[in-house]
Structure 1
Amino acid sequence: MKTKADSFPTVTVIARNLSSEQLHLIAEQMVATGIRSMEVSLVGDHACEDIRSLCNEFEGQLLIGAGTVLSLEDAKRSVDAGASFLLSPVQFGADVIDYAHECGVLAIPSGLTPTEIYKQLSLGADIIKVFPAARMTPAYLKDLRAPLGDFPIMVVGGINAQNIQSYLDAGARYAGLGTGCFRPEDLDALDAAGIRQSLEMLVCYERAQSSL
C-alpha cells in the first residue's frame, strides 16, 4: 500500500543557522532547479517564523519541514508554523509520532543501531534518519536491511554530491544534505547563480514524485 513517505522527495536541503534572506534565496533556487524539500533546523531563534514565511511563500512548490525536533513542544510549534515533516537527530517518543500523524505530517526520527531503528518503526515512524550516516559505510545500510527488511532510510550527516549515490545504491531512499553543499562565499554574498549551480549537482538524484 502506498504511503505518504513514498511521495517524499529524494533530496532534502538542511538549513541551519542561516538568515531569512539566505533561506529565501535558497528556496527560490530550489524551485528553479526542481529540488523540492527543505528542512529548517530549530536551532535558530527565528526558525518557526522562517518556516511559516517559507510555507506561505512557496506553498505548492516546496515541502518545508522542521529539523532538530527534540520534544513534543518542538513538534507542536513546528506544525503550528506549517511544517510538513519533523526531523530529529534523536529518537522520537510515541507522543511525537502520534501527534505528527494526527496532524498529517511525516515523523522522521533518527536511529543508528538495529534496536533503535526497530523501536522507531514499531512506534510508527514514517522514515528512519540514519545519522551520522557518513560515519558508517554504505554497506552498513545493507547490513541493516538484511534482518529489518526494506524500511525507508534517510541518510544524513556528511552526505554530499560526491557520496550520495553510493548510499542510494546501498538502499537509502532519501538523503539530507547540509548547507555545506553550498560554497560559503555564495551564501555570504547571496549569490543566486552560485547557489543554483550547487543545487544543479543534486538534481539527477531527485527521483521521488511528490505531490506538494
Structure 2
Amino acid sequence: MNRNLFDHMLSSGIVAVIRKVDPAKVKPLVRAFIDGGVTGIEITMDSEDALRVITEVKEEFEEKAVIGAGTVMNKEQAEKAISAGADFIFAPILCKETVEYTKEQGVIMIPGVFTPTEMHLADQWGADMVKVFPANVLGPKFLKDVSGPLSHIQMMPTGGVNLNNLQSFMEAGAVAAGIGGSLVNKSLIESENWTELQELAEQYVEKAGLVKV
C-alpha cells in the first residue's frame, strides 16, 4: 500500500461516494468536491461507464485527490478497477479473495463490515481499514464500543452519514466517513449548481475537521 496515498485520502475526513451520476457531469462534480476540500473520491462500479470515468477522473485530478472504485463485489471487478487506475478498492461486503488480491497489487483495500468478527477477519486478511456499512443502522455508539477491543482497526462509517450525525461518528472513533447522497446531491447535480455543491463539501470537511486529529 502507498502510505502517502492512504494518508492523503483520509486527510479531509471525507470520501465522496459518487454513484450513478451522469458521466458527463462527474468531472465538474469532482472538481467542486476537491475545491471544497474533499480528498477521497469514490466512483462506484455500478455507475455508467465506471471504468472509463475512473480512468479520466484519475488522469485529471490525481495530484489533488485520491481516486478509487466502490461497490466492488469480487476479485474480477477489483482487477478491472485497478487496471483502470483505481487507487483504492471499497467494497460493501467482506470477501477474502478480493481483499487478498487487492493487497497483492499494492492497492488500498477497504472492505465492508457489520460485526466485530468481520472487522477482525478483514484485519487478519490484510485490509487497510474497514468500512462500517450501513453505518446508520449501527450508529456512533457501535463504533465507540468496538473501538475498545479493536482499537488497532481503523473504521470508516458509510451509509446514512450526514451533516447531522457526522460529528458523532467522528467523536466515536471514525478516521473518516464515506458520504453518499447527502453530499452527492442529485438535484444540485441536475441543475449543475457546482458552487453550492462545493459549499456543501466545505461544510462536511469542516464538520469532520472539528473532531479529526
* TM-score normalized with structure 1 length: 0.90
After the TM superposition, which residues 191-210 of structure 1 pair with which residues of structure 2 at under 5 Å, given as runs? 191-204=193-206, 205-206=208-209
2:149 aligns to what SS in structure 1? helix
Runs of 5+ unmatched residues, structure 2: none
Deviation at 1:6, TM superposition (A): 4.4
Deviation at 1:191, TM superposition (A): 1.2
Residue 79 of structure 1 aligns to which amino acid in structure 2? I
Aligned to 2:153: 151
Aligned to 2:114: 112
Residue of 85, 88, 102 corresponding to 1:85: 88
Deviates more, 1:191-200 or 1:150-159: 191-200
Please say if residues 182 and 198 of structure 1, whose CA atoms lie closer than 8 Å, have aligned partners that are also in contact.
no
Aligned to 1:124: 126
Deviations 1:115-141 (A, max 9, x none): 111111110110110000011121111
Deviation at 1:182, TM superposition (A): 4.3
Residue of 155, 168, 186 corresponding to 2:170: 168
Residue of 13, 28, 32 corresponding to 1:29: 32
Aligned to 1:11: 14
C-alpha distance in 1 between matches for 2:212 and 2:142: 23
1:146 aligns to what SS in structure 2? coil
Deviation at 1:200, TM superposition (A): 1.5
Please say if residues 8 and 208 of structure 1, whose CA atoms lie closer than 8 Å, have aligned partners that are also in contact.
no
- 1:48 equivalent in alignment to 2:51: yes
Deviation at 1:82, TM superposition (A): 0.5
Residue of 133, 139, 142 corresponding to 1:140: 142
Deviations 1:116-170 (A, max 9, x none): 1111111011011000001112111122122222410000000011111100100
1:70 aligns to what SS in structure 2? coil
Please say if residues 52 and 84 of structure 2, whose CA atoms lie closer than 8 Å, have aligned partners that are also in contact.
yes
1:129 aligns to what SS in structure 2? strand
C-alpha distance in 2 between matches for 1:3 and 1:38: 17
Residue of 190, 193, 207 corresponding to 2:192: 190
Deviations 1:15-37 (A, max 9, x none): 11101222111111122122111
Please say if residues 113 and 133 of structure 2, whose CA atoms lie closer than 8 Å, have aligned partners that are also in contact.
yes
C-alpha distance in 1 between matches for 2:29 and 2:48: 19
C-alpha distance in 2 between matches for 1:8 and 1:31: 11
* TM-score normalized with structure 2 length: 0.90
Runs of 5+ unmatched residues, structure 1: none
Residue 133 of structure 2 aligns to which amino acid in structure 1? F
Identity between Structure 1 and Structure 2 (%): 29
Residue 148 of structure 2 aligns to which amino acid in structure 1? A
Residue 57 of structure 2 aligns to which amino acid in structure 1? L
Deviates more, 1:5-14 or 1:42-51: 5-14
Deviation at 1:44, TM superposition (A): 2.1
1:195 aligns to what SS in structure 2? helix
C-alpha distance in 1 between matches for 2:109 and 2:160: 22
C-alpha distance in 1 between matches for 2:94 and 2:185: 31
Give RMSD over aligned pairs.
2.0
Residue of 35, 58, 66 corresponding to 1:63: 66
C-alpha distance in 2 between matches for 1:52 and 1:84: 10
Q: 1:180 to 1:84 in 2, by over 3 A?
A: same
Deviates more, 1:50-59 or 1:22-31: 22-31
